[in-house]
Structure 1
Amino acid sequence: MRTLVFDLDGTLADTSADLIAAANHCFCALGHGDLLDSRADALTAFHGGRAMLRLGFSRLDVPWSEDDVDAQYPRLLQAYADDIDRHTRLYPGAERAVETLHTLGIATAICTNKPEALAEDLLRRLGVRALFASLVGADTMTTRKPDPAPYLAAVARAGGTAARSALLGDTETDARTARVCGVPLALVTFGPEGRGVERFAPDALLDHFDALPDLAQRLLPEA
């Protein structure tokens, strides 16, 4: 079974505004107001909750430490869970493209560094959970991307094999994951970095989901 594994945040769906809002909820509760901007800081949002907290704290003219980040992280997760899909949308053409992959005999899976329960909830709310045969999140296993284990588990749980799989992502973490797993890599160009992701030397770039079926056929040719 040919399998295409998707990253979630910044690849399948634009989650940045809701992630930034959750981080700002923490800063507002501390009396600092909104320290992050949903547009300017979108790239940091796609690197996770702790990255957003570090960026916000770095903008304060007061000392802070990783203890402050650790203290706020559970609060960020709860704020995010409470309002996970206010602004989040699938990227244009994503749902149709995944459905087309299935008609081509290509299984689809999710491998994300978002906590599994949050990823499951978000995909259900977006109405696309049933389109993916497996989902492996940040806490599904004892390691997360770019460790190869989560990616390999996502492929296996979708009924595929690593030798006939490829990864679609948007960050250096995805590039490192594909490299360590020895699988083809495509990176999207509609995220905050645009075509800046070319520096990670992917096998292909995806400018719009309408082009995904043809791209997948090139990365995963039939035996």
Structure 2
Amino acid sequence: MPFQAAIIDLDGTLVDTLGDFVVVLHHTLADLGCHPVEIARVDHPFVEQTVGKGSEDLLRRTLAHAWGLPDDDAEAVAAVPLAWQHYQAHYSRLNGQHSEVYPGAREGLQRLVDQGVPLACLTNKPTAFAEQLLQAKGLRAFFSKVFGGDAFERKKPDPLPLIKTCEALGTAPAQTLMVGDSSNDAQAARAAGCPVVLVTYGYNHGHPIVEVPALAHIERLDALDWASLSLPVR
């Protein structure tokens, strides 16, 4: 086997969580006194192009978008701490209620486990929310390790989370496959020295994921052919 373990992303790779994000963000904006028109701006297309770099980034960009401000506007930045308090409360209550496991994800994880592949889940979602979602969707037992965006000093696309996850798995990065859905995952994997496979159905900030170099681009996780992944990066 070319690899000793696999690191799997969560949002957009295992579970379609856009519905969760939209509902939680709407509640958060309402708590902050936003008008219905402002709240309506935070729709599925906006969220799909915005998620992936952690909750703080999502909140800042959401507030700016709702208020018609630039992404890095000081008013939006200043409002993030208060928004985060409301966001946490709503997400804890609603996590998983408006999301679905992608077709083939459960089967793909089972196939890897049956082949003896150690698995870790690595996401920019806070660890507590990741654990809660994996439990709710019946996926937690597949993973020996789960790390969220608050587990390490930096988040993907920084390579540190992948390097630390490899250390926790006891495997070298070059022998640890990263499976994700976005350029964030690919960028982090390349910088950490991990090979990467990308699913074609997730969230990649509105850009075609097939344009991002990877060992393979797969339409379902159960299409991952573990034994044939010693292919050159294309």
Q: TM-score range by the shorter chain?
A: 0.7 to 0.9
| 1:73-92 matched pairs, under 5 angstroms | 73-92=84-103
- Name the SS for the 1:143 alignment partner: coil
Q: Amino acid of the residue matched to residue 197 of structure 2?
A: A
Compared with structure 1, are the counterparts of its residues 61 and 37 closer, same or farther at alpha carbon in structure 2 (3 Å cutoff)? closer
Compared with structure 1, are the counterparts of its residues 202 and 15 closer, same or farther at alpha carbon in structure 2 (3 Å cutoff)? same
Q: Show the counterpart of 1:189.
A: 200
Q: Partners in 2 of 1:195 and 1:55 — Cα distance?
A: 19
TM-score (norm 1): 0.87
Q: Show the counterpart of 1:209.
A: 221
Q: Partners in 1 of 2:11 and 2:181 — Cα distance?
A: 8
Q: Show the counterpart of 1:14.
A: 16
Identity %: 31
Between 1:160-169 and 1:187-196, the stretch displaced more is: 187-196
Unaligned runs of 5+ in 2: none
Q: Show the counterpart of 1:31.
A: 34
Between 1:191-200 and 1:14-23, the stretch displaced more is: 191-200
Q: Partners in 2 of 1:80 and 1:189 — Cα distance?
A: 26
Q: Show the counterpart of 2:122.
A: 111
Q: Partners in 2 of 1:134 and 1:126 — Cα distance?
A: 16
Compared with structure 1, are the counterparts of its residues 192 and 143 closer, same or farther at alpha carbon in structure 2 (3 Å cutoff)? closer
Q: Partners in 2 of 1:38 and 1:46 — Cα distance?
A: 14
Q: Show the counterpart of 1:143.
A: 154
Whether 1:43 aligns to 2:54 is no
- Name the SS for the 1:122 alignment partner: helix
TM superposition shift of 1:51: 3.9
**1:187·1:206 contact (CA, 8 Å) conserved in 2?**
yes
- Name the SS for the 1:65 alignment partner: helix
TM superposition shift of 1:121: 1.0
Alpha carbon RMSD of aligned pairs, Å?
2.3
Unaligned runs of 5+ in 1: none
Aligned length: 219
Q: Partners in 2 of 1:91 and 1:143 — Cα distance?
A: 27
Q: Amino acid of the residue matched to residue 211 of structure 1?
A: A
| 1:53-202 matched pairs, under 5 angstroms | 53=59, 54-61=61-68, 64-193=75-204, 196-202=208-214
**1:113·1:138 contact (CA, 8 Å) conserved in 2?**
yes
TM superposition shift of 1:183: 1.6
